[in-house]
Chains A and B, each alone.
Chain A
Amino acid sequence: MHKGQILLLLAFFILGPLPLSAQEKFTLSGQITDAANGEDLPFVNVVVKELPGVGTISNVYGFYSLTLAAGTYTIEYRSIGYENISKQIQLDSALTMDIEMAVPEQGEVLKKVTVTAQKKDENLTRTDGSVTKINIKDVKKLPTFGGEPDIMKVAQLSPGVKTAGDGNSGFYVRGGGLGQNLVLLDEAPVYNPSHVLGFYSVFNSDVLKGAELYKGGMPAEYGGRTASVMDVRMKDGNLKEWSGAGGVGLIASRLALEGPIKKDKGSILLSGRTSYVGTYLKLSDNETINRNKLYFYYLNFKANFKLGKKDKIYLSGYTGRDVLRFDDLFGLDWGNTTATFRWNHVMSKKLFSNTSVIYNDYTYNILVNFLEDNLKITSSIRDFNLKQQFSLYANNNNTLKFGFDVAHHSLSPGVVSSENEDGNVVETDKNYGLESAVYLSNEQKIGKKIRLNYGVRFSMLNRLGEGNEYMYDEAGNLTGTTFYESGEIMNTNYGIEPRLSSSFLLSKNTSLKLNYNRNFQYLHLLTSSTTSTPIDVWVMSSNNIKPQIADQVSLGYYQNLKDNKYEFSTEVYYKGMQNVIDYKTGANVFLNDFVEAELVYGTGQSYGVELLFKKKVGKFTGWIGYTLSRTEHKFDAIDNGNPFPARQDRTHDLSIVAIYKITDRLSLSGNFVYYTGDAVTFPSGQYTLDGITVPYYTERNGYRMPDYHRLDLGLTWDFKKRKKFESSLNVSLYNVYGRQNAYTISFRENEADPGSYEAVQISLFRWVPSVTYNFNF
């Protein structure tokens, strides 16, 4: 086929069949905001009443664009929790129409169910099958530790998303590891989203607009991690009036304030949270406990300003710190800092541009006052990132997104300084890299029943000097070193990542969704194979470390029942993984310049079936999620090349969430989780060598930690609203029946019977009660 013909065919496919008549077309576009606070409203359905199936959805910045033949139309704007808006328009030239949507008054909600109900079957028609959309209003209803809602905890109650366990906010998605999730806060990556004790994540729901968790079928605009993308967006700040929200609890308190800098033009938002759990430690009579410290704090900031009809700028940031001190012996503090500058520009009625400049940093310090050592170890990962994205509303059936990302990574695995007299400073090699990507995707409607989102991403990592490139033989012995000057390219890895997500409406109430995605990951988290700590070591792909690659295909069946009151979905998935990383026996990855020689590479696969049944309306709401899955890794260097279960292989994973509204003001909520214990390696025998008892192993991850299960309950009382002031009291109990779930299992010599050993289990948190007073005004 001639090249010109191919291009023509491609253009036809992307842009859709051209109209046969020469009727003139015009574009209706605008910005959709919340009438109460001026916040941009994303994902609002914009439909044309006279043309069933024709419409669009506002983007994450509230911008929409719709091109129609000249004529008179009724345009309807629908979004969950807002009153529908209907506008009559005469389209005979390009038209800009900004829309403000209002939340109905309390009393009107019940009367106007049909009016306020958004397109309830949106879950059927969205192409992104493997996506969990997290609504902040839902988050606030659930029982959580300390009475404070947490977006990460809610995400972990979805099928296919599994918590990393007590004391950790990390999560596993469809067999992926902890470091394979891309967590974004206003586009800035957050390398460690966990606060101390793992009960709180770094996200304060009071200042969030919403979040989406992609388990598969990620659009081409996302990249850099193989398992999932969690895209969290902060509120912009109230453009209309000053308002606030907060909470006072037994463990932590928080406050957020937002208001206009100039009404309807610009606003500012500030929020903070601090914990004082360490204060309780001082109450203990036990010196081993009362000499410890434990707290965290963080601050969020956001400002936005409209520079005219076509431009809007945003500046947002986050900084937080966790501090743990164990007597004078040991200290650890860690935290993330992010800053995002964003510029939205409406280039034309059909072309929207978003430019972002992003900074993020994750640093931890370890203080060891161990015997006569008095050491401080500092490790950090820091990025500067430029993103440019264009959205082209080509026609009513095709919306193209294209753009590029460039991120400069700088990794400092460890600087060890001593406070002793000799004051030696030892610094491991710093690593630099430039990760870049270009992408193109198209969201296409074919008829009324088929929606596609397909695209491709080309990604690349260039390792940069100044630094050493090491060469190793197969046994991991160093065979050569090449030094590169600052900015010189040391080596390059790259890959092509095709993406597809699709939905096929089978009937009014059922749809099928098919996704495929290939993801490359160039930054790798080296975590402990057994327990999770904030002591993360990140390494970059290089001449020795190949990028991790995941190919995933999933098929989902979605059905809404009883006039969309109930929702049922099931998905099956298969994920193949290449260049999975593990460690050589006895590997030392900490403060080691030659860490690449300590790693081994293999393959992996994960497959499973996920079920979700949800009741969305009524006094009693909630869901049941269940996942049956298997995740295996395979390394030539481990277990003679036989596949073995990955640590995160969880055969069964069950979440039950229920909320019962006892009265208008009182609601009871509960969640129950159950999952198969992590796969773990224990010895199968022992022997004596040189006078020392040595265990011996027959297989990797051949054992299981005990199964995990837990029930949490919460009771929320909403106080009577006074003018604008609303408040509620939340009483919750975490781990209601005091299950001792295993945090670690280790072995020690039996004091009563020297020479024999016993297994010791450590569990965290039994019966943790909390009382929190929440308010907003």
Chain B
Amino acid sequence: MRKQSFLFIMAFALIASACEKIIDLEVKEGDKRYILDAELNTMDDSISIILSESVPYLSDDTPTYVENATVELTPEGNSAILVPYESNGRYALPLEALEDQDYKLSVDFNDISVEANSHLTKKTNINELLIDENIEGDLIIRTALSDPAGEDNYYRIRYSIDGQKMDEVENLVLFSDNNNDGEELTPRILNELFESGKKVDVELMTMSKSQYEYYQGMLSISDPSAFSYSVSAPANPVSNWSGDVLGYFSTYAIDTMSVVIP
């Protein structure tokens, strides 16, 4: 509905000779919130946590990082492992990430204790990368995969072009096997930087349902032009952190494949 509403409003506004202007909107400065952006995946075989503070909306302030936290990772059935501080709010540790396993992450800082649990799912492999064109003649890359039948699977595609990560919100690709259980899927990625000779590294990431919903929620509010046409009023996505912090402890099983555009 968001896409349809967006198109309707754009079409309507254009046809109605609408005027657009930049307005000086006085945003309320909410209390600063702590952000815990944690990721464990099977590709890097490492745990990474960035602990920072939020900044006012519409500002270009750089965030303040928290350096004095105690971070512990507990793989299911094992004892806690301390994750040391590196720099710029980042805590990291090389670690073999295992598929189909639960992980618990605990963080203590400034008299705040929070924890999050996440299930690292099984990996789904990329069968092949197909280079194609859409009807507009733009280059697209299709990631062919065989969805495992009989279970709900949730996916994300992350990619880089010539080593440069495409991590902008418009390049975040999320999909599930809802209505396509057990089928051959070929989700596509489109980027105007796709050109002959460029190397594209594609990561097919599988994740839990709750993590997928978190990213969907994040996607719906992160497109800054989308405020006006979400069906629900925008709100913070539901985090897996126990306390009053923002962010998510994400775990991914990742398969990768690369292709050079001919």
Q: Which residues of A line the B interface, CB within 8 A?
A: 167, 197, 281, 288-289, 292, 294, 324, 326, 329-330, 332, 366, 368, 370-372, 377, 426, 526-531, 533-535, 537, 582-591, 638, 647, 680-698, 700-703, 706, 740, 742-749, 753, 755-766
In the assembled complex, the CB of B185 is this many whole angstroms from the nearest CB of chain A, namely 14
| Residues B23 and A531 in contact, CB atoms below 8 Å apart | no
**Chain A residues with Cβ under 8 A from B218's Cβ?**
689, 692, 694
Q: Which residue of B lies closest to A369 (CB)?
A: B135
| Residues B58 and A526 in contact, CB atoms below 8 Å apart | no
**Chain B residues with Cβ under 8 A from A638's Cβ?**
235
| Residues A747 and B225 in contact, CB atoms below 8 Å apart | yes
From A587, A680, A692, contact of B167 by CB (8 A): A692
**Chain B residues with Cβ under 8 A from A684's Cβ?**
27-30, 56-57
- Encode contact with A along B50-68: 1 for CB under 8 Å, 0 otherwise: 0011111111100100000
**Chain B residues with Cβ under 8 A from A324's Cβ?**
8, 11-12, 15
In the assembled complex, the CB of B100 is this many whole angstroms from the nearest CB of chain A, namely 21
Among the 9-residue stretches B71-79, B110-118, B226-234, the one with 4 or more Cβ atoms under 8 Å from chain A is B226-234
Whether A685 contacts B55 in the complex (CB less than 8 A), given A372-B134, A755-B60, A762-B19, comes out as yes
| Residues A330 and B7 in contact, CB atoms below 8 Å apart | yes
Classify the secondary structure of B's interface with A. mixed
| Residues B59 and A760 in contact, CB atoms below 8 Å apart | no
Which of the listed residues A426, A527, A638, A762 has the most CB atoms from chain B within 10 Å of its own CB? A762
Q: Which residues of B line the A interface, CB within 8 A?
A: 1, 3-5, 7-25, 27-33, 35, 37, 39, 52-60, 63, 134-136, 165, 167-169, 172, 179, 190, 213, 216-218, 220-222, 224-238, 246-248, 250
| Residues A692 and B169 in contact, CB atoms below 8 Å apart | yes
Q: Which residue of A lies closest to B133 (CB)?
A: A372
- Complex-state Cα separation, A702 to B235, whole angstroms: 12
Number of contacts between A and B (CB, 8 Å)? 267
- Complex-state Cα separation, A758 to B222, whole angstroms: 14
**Chain A residues with Cβ under 8 A from B5's Cβ?**
528, 531, 533, 535
From B213, B220, B229, contact of A530 by CB (8 A): B229
**Chain B residues with Cβ under 8 A from A698's Cβ?**
28, 30-31
Q: Which residue of B lies closest to A426 (CB)?
A: B179
| Residues B13 and A681 in contact, CB atoms below 8 Å apart | no
**Chain A residues with Cβ under 8 A from B227's Cβ?**
530, 682, 744-747
From A584, A685, A745, contact of B56 by CB (8 A): A685
Which of the listed residues B16, B63, B238 has the most CB atoms from chain A within 10 Å of its own CB? B16
From B3, B10, B172, B236, contact of A696 by CB (8 A): B236
**Chain B residues with Cβ under 8 A from A584's Cβ?**
232
- Complex-state Cα separation, A8 to B213, whole angstroms: 64
In the assembled complex, the CB of A631 is this many whole angstroms from the nearest CB of chain B, namely 15
- Complex-state Cα separation, A377 to B16, whole angstroms: 24
Q: What would 26 A/B residue contacts be, using CB atoms closer than 8 Å?
A: A197-B16, A289-B15, A324-B8, A330-B11, A332-B4, A332-B8, A368-B3, A372-B134, A527-B231, A533-B12, A583-B231, A588-B1, A589-B1, A681-B233, A681-B235, A683-B57, A684-B27, A687-B247, A689-B218, A695-B57, A698-B30, A746-B225, A760-B22, A761-B23, A763-B20, A764-B18
In the assembled complex, the CB of A291 is this many whole angstroms from the nearest CB of chain B, namely 11
Q: Which residue of B lies closest to A590 (CB)?
A: B1
From B15, B29, B136, B172, contact of A685 by CB (8 A): B29
**Chain B residues with Cβ under 8 A from A744's Cβ?**
9, 13, 227-229
Q: Which residue of B lies closest to A693 (CB)?
A: B222
From B14, B22, B213, B236, contact of A288 by CB (8 A): B14
| Residues B231 and A587 in contact, CB atoms below 8 Å apart | yes
Whether A746 contacts B217 in the complex (CB less than 8 A), given A292-B11, A692-B167, A761-B21, comes out as no
In the assembled complex, the CB of B163 is this many whole angstroms from the nearest CB of chain A, namely 15
For the complex of A and B, the 9 pairs showing the least CB-CB separation, nearest first, are A684-B30, A590-B1, A691-B167, A326-B11, A583-B232, A744-B228, A759-B25, A756-B60, A586-B217
From A583, A695, A706, contact of B222 by CB (8 A): A695
| Residues B14 and A326 in contact, CB atoms below 8 Å apart | yes
- Complex-state Cα separation, A756 to B62, whole angstroms: 11
- Complex-state Cα separation, A701 to B227, whole angstroms: 12
**Chain B residues with Cβ under 8 A from A706's Cβ?**
23
From B15, B20, B30, B63, contact of A762 by CB (8 A): B20
**Chain A residues with Cβ under 8 A from B58's Cβ?**
747, 756-759
| Residues A697 and B236 in contact, CB atoms below 8 Å apart | yes
**Chain A residues with Cβ under 8 A from B59's Cβ?**
686, 756
- Complex-state Cα separation, A743 to B18, whole angstroms: 9
- Complex-state Cα separation, A44 to B172, whole angstroms: 67
In the assembled complex, the CB of A71 is this many whole angstroms from the nearest CB of chain B, namely 66
- Complex-state Cα separation, A702 to B19, whole angstroms: 26
Whether A683 contacts B63 in the complex (CB less than 8 A), given A528-B230, A530-B230, comes out as no
- Complex-state Cα separation, A711 to B15, whole angstroms: 23
**Chain B residues with Cβ under 8 A from A747's Cβ?**
58, 224-225, 227
In the assembled complex, the CB of A691 is this many whole angstroms from the nearest CB of chain B, namely 3
Which of the listed residues B56, B225, B228, B232 has the most CB atoms from chain A within 10 Å of its own CB? B232
- Complex-state Cα separation, A681 to B57, whole angstroms: 13
